[in-house]
A and B are shown apart, each in its own frame.
Chain A
Amino acid sequence: MILSHTEPFKTIQLSIYFSEKINKETISYRFLLSNLLISYSNRYPNKRALTDAFLKLYGAHVQSQVFTFGEYHITKINLTIPNPIFIGDYDFVDELFDIVEDMIFKKISFDNENFLSSKRILIKNIETKSERKFEYAKDKLFETAYKNTIHQFSLTGTKEELIKIEPNDLLNYYKNVFLNNDIRIIVNGKLDDMFISKLMRFERYENISIKYDDKVINHEKIIEKSDKFSNYQNFIFLGYSLGINRYHPRYMDVQLIGKLLAQYPNSYLFKTFRETLHLAYEVESFYEYDKGDFYIYALVDRNNQNAADILIDLVNNFILDGITEEMVREVKTFFKKEYSSMLYGPKSYNPRLFIHSILDINMDSLDELLDKVTVKTMNDALKYFKLFLKYELKGK
């Protein structure tokens, strides 16, 4: 169990991570489990009773999430607990942990009522995905960029797959596979001895078994594709294949290039694509470093047919012009500030600790990492940028 003493926070975050290799056959199982597991417990046999139980525990709440990292499919259960130090009551912690343990690790069966209720919620979630525009667009992007790989599948699975799942199939999966996943527990907050002693009951569930495979995706051909959906704006995605992952010596350089390109108000595309050409309100970048890929996206008027090509030209210009000393200085200053801010959110601690744990790397000091970045290394990193994807999800 990883315990991080983050002194000033008023809450404690307890995260339980279940990881296994992505398997198309079990994507829907995990999506359904993420909802069903936190809907009831053996003692509180439905959502109504469980909600009532949580209400009595000072607003403590539990959330679940599914995501991938590299070839792993991860289910995260996160418990937010108002710190008993600030409430002056430790008694509720035992009751809370009883519920969580019972709910997550000790499910005996999946009764029909809860099972069907979760299924209905998730089927509706899949059916309404196109209303959650960015989520839908990102699913379509990955379907295109990672065609014929395990990353092409949406983590919600399909409606048809979900409908097919029977309670007993899911129970078998839960008992025989899910509970035998790599399980890591990470806790941060102002942790005193009393709380830690109560927490230790979860230690026996930990199972560290993953040896992370250091792979990136190779994109052999350039993909150019567009789809349509009901929207006023067009989504433009540009994908750059870098082959640079977290272990690579140019990893930090790419992080900084991402900032310089489109992640803060003084970034290149913000100044050019948005502020000079007025083509978008939103232009951003994100780095899928577990796959070695870098993306830029923008939301533009659907009547603008040339925006994607203009965006490509601008990125090409950025790469051609290269990085200057001044840019390095500025972006390092900004990154330090941003990193420090990120450290200062209770919910951002555990995800970072989890990634470091799964990659089996130490938390280097930021200054050490940044010291290795120079104009030369950043310009070298630019050489890795190869456009492999132009994808437009057009509004109609």
Chain B
Amino acid sequence: MKIKINDYVEEYSLKNGLKVHFIKLQSHQVYVSYDVGLGSFDQKYGVQDNIYYITPGTAHMIEHLMFAMPEGDAFSYFSKIGVASNAFTTYAKTSYTLEGKENIEKAIVYLLKMVHTPYFSKEHVETEKKIILEEIHGVNDDPLNQMYQTIYGQLYYNYPLKNDILGDENDLYDISLQDIERVYKHFYHLNNTTLFIMGDIDINNMIEILENVNLPKDYYDIKRLSIDEPKVVKNSILTKEFDIEVPLLFVGYKYNISHLNMKERIKLEVMFIILTQLILGNHIEFVDNLIKNELIFDGFDFEHVVEGEYLTVLIYNQTINSELLFQRLHKYLSNDAIKEISEERLDILKKSYLGTLIVVNDDFETRLHILTKFYKDGILMEQMVELIQSITYDEMIKLFETFNEMPYSVLYAHSKKHENILD
């Protein structure tokens, strides 16, 4: 199987210190992401001999505040020139994005100006907190998100995954203007930012424009410091009531990956995605029997987070009896699940996953997001295809054995309203 989906990246370090990556391809729009290496996982760092802590939610709050400019709101400027702007904070970075065609050069220049113009005030910080508080309320109104945060809290003592990217209400009140200014100063500089431009672009013209942008030269050597995290789970079992109609079972796994390099981590993530499908996909007899026996309604859902020093895997499903489902699942994973892994099944799943990559590639925003996530580790689409194709049966068996030894935690999410929905 020869998949023809390659991205060609041209990388430049400009005289003004800006690092820019061009991905030239056929598209109606140009997609831009200006990435700052500050995410919700950055909670402890050192500059020179000093150690600093970051309150959860700070990176996200800076993202909100960045659009304020001395001359007015940057959103207005982008809208007026017909370019869509947005921003988001992930575990690892804050991305400021643009999408447009006409005036895109102007917009990129203004985006750089915006990100490198700190225009913070106490009043603005306090008013923005009110908006973010509503954002937090909205997120908290989603029971699934509450359950995610609960199981992460069971798995981790200190690891930042246990905190929502937005922080919680208390975190929000704790963030001060001084915190914002300090974190901005240490993280928002050219040594910690990268510009990605994807689309049908004239690269030479763009370089000429970008090289003439005046950007601050100061930078800090940030040393990201790890948070102490025991390898065992904090709380192996929890029964908790949520505002839900149907109970759920969550099983979360944690695995320290600090011994792996970035390519190995990416491969491990892909292998886990394939492994969970291999042993718990809808085509598996065990899953089919659970449905036939009316213990579950539909197949399992999975979440894989490979970020920082830990890999986290969640397996969850709605069920009429979460305790009984866990018993069955645990017995299956300890005994029969390994029988579902064969060379033939692995090949089928690999093919299917490669097809999914093609599907994902049709969404340009997602494509750029994936590219910005993996590119720094030398993984482009071509390498991703090679990486998937290189996965062997023996590796998968070894991974399964590792999986069965990984510390895990169980959340029995019960309904506040009903003991058992079918009673």
Identify the closest chain B residue to A337 (Cβ).
B82
Count B interface residues, CB 8 Å. 73
Contacts of B141 in A (CB 8 A): 133, 231-233, 395
Contact of B352 among A59, A133, A340 (CB under 8 A): A59
A238 to B287, CA, bound (A): 45
Decide: A341 and B28 in contact? CB cutoff 8 A: yes
Decide: A281 and B75 in contact? CB cutoff 8 A: no
Q: Convert A299-330 into 0s and 1s, putting 1 for each residue whose CB lies closer than 8 angstroms to a CB of B.
A: 11100000000000000000000000000001
Known: A86-B4, A265-B75. A128 touches B351 (CB 8 A): no
Known: A48-B288, A278-B127, A330-B80. A340 touches B28 (CB 8 A): yes
Known: A281-B132, A337-B83. A275 touches B358 (CB 8 A): no
Decide: B285 and A48 in contact? CB cutoff 8 A: yes
Contacts of A7 in B (CB 8 A): 26
A233 to B140, CA, bound (A): 10
Contacts of A337 in B (CB 8 A): 29, 82-84, 99-102
Identify the closest chain A residue to B76 (Cβ).
A266
Decide: A299 and B82 in contact? CB cutoff 8 A: no
Decide: A131 and B362 in contact? CB cutoff 8 A: no
Identify the closest chain B residue to A332 (Cβ).
B82
- Residue B3 at the chain A interface, CB threshold 8 Å: yes
Contacts of B284 in A (CB 8 A): 48
- Residue A107 at the chain B interface, CB threshold 8 Å: no
Decide: A59 and B353 in contact? CB cutoff 8 A: yes
Known: A113-B292, A124-B297. A266 touches B246 (CB 8 A): no
- Residue B238 at the chain A interface, CB threshold 8 Å: no
Among A271-309, those with CB < 8 Å from B are: 271, 274-275, 278-282, 299-301
Contacts of A68 in B (CB 8 A): none
Identify the closest chain B residue to A123 (Cβ).
B297
Known: A299-B138, A301-B134. A330 touches B79 (CB 8 A): yes
- Residue A377 at the chain B interface, CB threshold 8 Å: no
- Residue A101 at the chain B interface, CB threshold 8 Å: no
Contacts of A131 in B (CB 8 A): 142-144, 243-245
Contacts of A60 in B (CB 8 A): 355
A237 to B27, CA, bound (A): 37
Count A interface residues, CB 8 Å. 67
A86 to B381, CA, bound (A): 13
Among A25-69, those with CB < 8 Å from B are: 46-49, 51-52, 54-60
Contact of A264 among B79, B131, B353, B364 (CB under 8 A): B79
Decide: A117 and B351 in contact? CB cutoff 8 A: no
Decide: A10 and B358 in contact? CB cutoff 8 A: yes
Distance to closest chain B CB from A378 (angstroms): 17
A233 to B85, CA, bound (A): 27
- Residue A70 at the chain B interface, CB threshold 8 Å: no
Identify the closest chain B residue to A8 (Cβ).
B26
Decide: B297 and A121 in contact? CB cutoff 8 A: yes
A280 to B132, CA, bound (A): 9
- Residue A142 at the chain B interface, CB threshold 8 Å: no
Contacts of A9 in B (CB 8 A): 362
Contacts of B298 in A (CB 8 A): 121
- Residue A345 at the chain B interface, CB threshold 8 Å: yes
A341 to B97, CA, bound (A): 14
- Residue B328 at the chain A interface, CB threshold 8 Å: no
Q: Can you list 19 contacts pairing A with B, beta carbon distance less than 8 Å?
A: A46-B288, A47-B288, A58-B354, A59-B355, A87-B1, A87-B2, A87-B358, A120-B294, A230-B243, A233-B141, A275-B131, A280-B134, A281-B134, A281-B138, A330-B80, A337-B102, A338-B84, A341-B29, A395-B141
What are the 3 tightest A-B residue pairs by CB atom distance, in nearest-first order? A59-B355, A58-B355, A333-B82
